Chains A and B, each alone.
Chain A
């Protein structure tokens, strides 16, 4: 072999091996179905290594489930639904067989046929009928079912009991109306030293999300059905009332701090650092404040949403990959029911959390608050008997029962537009509320017109 042909051979070999590698990559991971009668299902929702306790619980559950179901093999994937990567995973064939979805997403996923129709399979899921109807509806369309809810929250008012006491407020009698919130915020801000009475989000769609909560709290809504189409429903007295209140707190009372364009992490940090009096939140914020921001359960209280005319409910559930086989769908639903919707495991789960020093008694998982009837009663009774946190601090939230309203259709797009309204009120002293609402209505209506 002379040197030219040697070089040529080496070049071709290199090219050939690279081509092969490319082909091999593109063909990876198409297997995993039935091998020896065993069904392998990939599921997401495995907590990251940075949350060792939750991770351990999840992995233990996988092992226990596999032992009880030798014909099912679970392949856990770390992480939850990330709307940013969802489509890429679906397009690349990397989407899990059983995947997590926030309440904001099922409507769009169903419309785009990105979730499997499980109507025929869900009939065999034990206790499915005992799940609250409005939560089941989130995952259903035209009488067909595309997923199951596994947890939900409703928005309330989270407050700092220590700051309440310092400001001369009674932490056992938290504000019930927006006017009372305003008065409490003034007293907390008057403590000085950078204390902020009330904080609100206004960035990354979270402003629109909380504006929706405000609207519900005063008895309004963001979108309503008009015949067979949806239209905006916030450019009215309710919308003006909500925004005027926010504007007064920001500019007339000066109780919302200087810094705006906040998102949930900013506000949690302020609350965790003991600098914030109140914010709108779901109960799952409390463990976050304690675990990530070194807070103390005794310092936080949760009460029903101010005015209480309605409250925003959200949550999560699981859906099935539209390309999953019937065997995988059956196995996937079995896992979801066993892990998340299993009244037989309530006591064991709560005890397990309690034994490891985790909080019991907060209105949050480990056992999801999605039930009606006997199961709901059984769960409440178990939680009370095993409580480890000051349950009384959260009693007024549990006792408040405003009407739960789900998020508007095409929620993320609507929220992006409403962010702007919140930003204007919070950053512009001269913001014209009526003009802002009219402008947002003109932008939201075309978005709602796309709802199928």
Chain B
């Protein structure tokens, strides 16, 4: 018994570095943030307890509903693009006979760009005047689009950027899943006379179902926290069409210096993301069994 205690103590001794780091930089800020959501702070005097006041202010803000609507729209669009495109790309890459490594590198390259740089490059490409996209469209005899400069197209334009920037990671994960499918399954399907689409539907999809589901949930959690693209490219405009929850949170904290309300909003976001994370844990636990 004493020996086990001693061994555990040693283990905790080695773990302590990580535990202290987590406690100081992760758990304490999260707990403090949760408390702040019910307080008014000026960082000079002691914080005052205000109960649900910060939440009431949020619910009264017309941008609150707009921000959630925009975030959900972004998430939905990002899933349509960010989920399907990398999967199809992975299927194609998996079929390649030559230059496999080269194409994988090409697909992964955008991930290496810092997000702000990617956003700035796309901002230039979207320029409705001399921007690359509109120049190309005009070259084809088509009319250019307003891209970021219209409330109708702004969100879709941001989704394209986010999908492009994150394509590489998702594609590589799908690719790894595809490569773990035993080749004899395809051979058997081929012998049975199954074409490409049927093999995709009856072999590839069922065999990668678990990876697909996990990535889907991870993408929901990640895309609901969208911030960089709207912050750098549109500032939430035009006409509030790209104000997301995190951008609104940022405004409360750093434009209005209202850290209480910002924390209240982050708590709400935490609840929503927590629900998805619980779902994710459930799914992954099921798979372990």
B239 at the interface (CB under 8 A from A): yes
Q: How far is the CA of A416 from the CA of B131 in the complex (A)?
A: 27
A426 CA / B149 CA spacing, docked (Å): 9
Q: How far is the CB of B119 from chain A (nearest CB, A)?
A: 13
A91 vs B43: C-alpha distance when bound (angstroms): 5
Query: Once the chains are docked, how many angstroms separate the CA of A10 from the CA of B16?
Result: 12
Contact residues in A for B112 (Cβ distance below 8 Å)? none
A194 interface hit (Cβ, 8 Å):
yes
The chain A residue with its CB closest to the CB of B128 is A258
CB pair B14 A428 closer than 8 Å:
no
- Inter-chain CA distance A15–B62, complex, in Å, is 49
Q: Name A7's closest neighbour in chain B (CB-CB).
A: B10
Residues of B with C-beta under 8 A to A204: 235
Contact assessment for B129 and A14 in the assembled complex, using a CB-CB cutoff below 8 Å: no
B6 at interface, CB cutoff 8 A: yes
Say how far A191's CB is from chain B's closest CB, in angstroms.
15
B234 at the interface (CB under 8 A from A): yes
Does B90 have its Cβ within 8 Å of any Cβ on chain A? no
**A263 to B232 alpha-carbon distance, docked (Å):** 11
- On whether A14 and B16 interact (CB within 8 A), knowing A7-B10, A413-B256, A446-B60, the answer reads yes
Q: What separation, in Å, do the CA atoms of A420 and B234 have in the docked complex?
A: 12
Q: Select which of A11, A86, A87, A112 is within 8 A of B12 by beta carbon.
A: A11
Structural contact, B9 and A11, CB atoms closer than 8 A: yes
Whether B259 is near chain A, meaning CB under 8 Å from some CB there, is yes
Nearest opposing residue in chain A for B252, CB measure = A413
Is residue B287 contacting chain A, with contact meaning CB distance below 8 A? Answer: no
B30-83 contacts to A, CB under 8 A, are 41-45, 60, 62
- Which A residues, 289 to 330, have Cβ-Cβ distances below 8 Å to chain B? 322-323
| Residue pair B234, A83 in contact (C-beta under 8 Å) | no
Judging by beta carbons under 8 Å apart, are B146 and A84 in contact?
no
The yes or no answer to A96 lying at the interface (CB within 8 A) is: no
Q: Which residue of B lies closest to A447 (CB)?
A: B256
| Chain A interface extent, by class | 35 or more
Inter-subunit contact B7/A259 (CB<8 Å): no
- Interface residues in A418-452 by Cβ distance below 8 A to B read 419-420, 423-424, 426-428, 442-443, 446
Choose from B14, B60, B239, B259 the contact partner of A427 (Cβ within 8 Å).
Answer: B239
B44 touches A323 (CB 8 A): yes
Q: How far is the CA of A22 from the CA of B25 in the complex (A)?
A: 11
Which residue from B150, B235, B253, B257 sits with its C-beta under 8 Å from A419?
B235
- Residues in A with CB closer than 8 Å to B11 are 11
Total A-B residue contacts, Cβ distance less than 8 Å = 122
Shortest distance between the CB of A419 and any CB in chain B (Å) = 7
Instruction: Given A423-B239, A427-B149, answer yes or no on A205-B255 (Cβ-Cβ < 8 Å).
Output: yes
A14 proximity list for chain B (CB < 8 A): 13-14, 16-17
B42 touching A261, Cβ below 8 Å: no
Residues of A within 8 A of B234 (CB): 203, 261
User: How far, in angstroms, from A442 to B62 measured CA to CA in the complex?
Assistant: 10
Q: Which residue of A lies closest to B255 (CB)?
A: A412
The answer to the question of A401 belonging to the interface, with a C-beta cut-off of 8 Å to chain B, is no
Q: Which of A83, A108, A428, A446 has the most CB of B within 10 A?
A: A428
Taken together as a complex, chains A and B put the C-alpha atoms of A322 and B148 apart, in Å, by 43
- B251 adjacent to chain A (CB < 8 Å): yes
User: Nearest 9 CB-CB pairs, A to B?
Assistant: A11-B13, A15-B16, A203-B235, A423-B238, A91-B43, A258-B128, A112-B42, A427-B238, A258-B129
Query: A-contacting residues of B (Cβ < 8 Å)?
Result: 3, 6-7, 9-14, 16-17, 20, 24, 41-45, 60, 62, 127-131, 146, 148-151, 234-240, 251, 253-257, 259
Could you write out 25 A-B pairs with CB less than 8 Å apart? A4-B10, A7-B10, A8-B9, A8-B13, A11-B10, A14-B13, A14-B14, A14-B17, A15-B13, A83-B255, A84-B254, A86-B257, A194-B130, A258-B149, A261-B149, A261-B234, A261-B237, A263-B235, A416-B251, A420-B239, A423-B238, A427-B237, A427-B238, A442-B62, A446-B60
Further 18 A-B residue pairs, CB within 8 A, beyond A15-B20, A323-B44: A7-B10, A8-B10, A11-B9, A11-B11, A12-B13, A15-B16, A18-B20, A19-B16, A87-B253, A87-B259, A91-B43, A112-B44, A113-B44, A258-B128, A261-B148, A423-B237, A423-B239, A428-B239
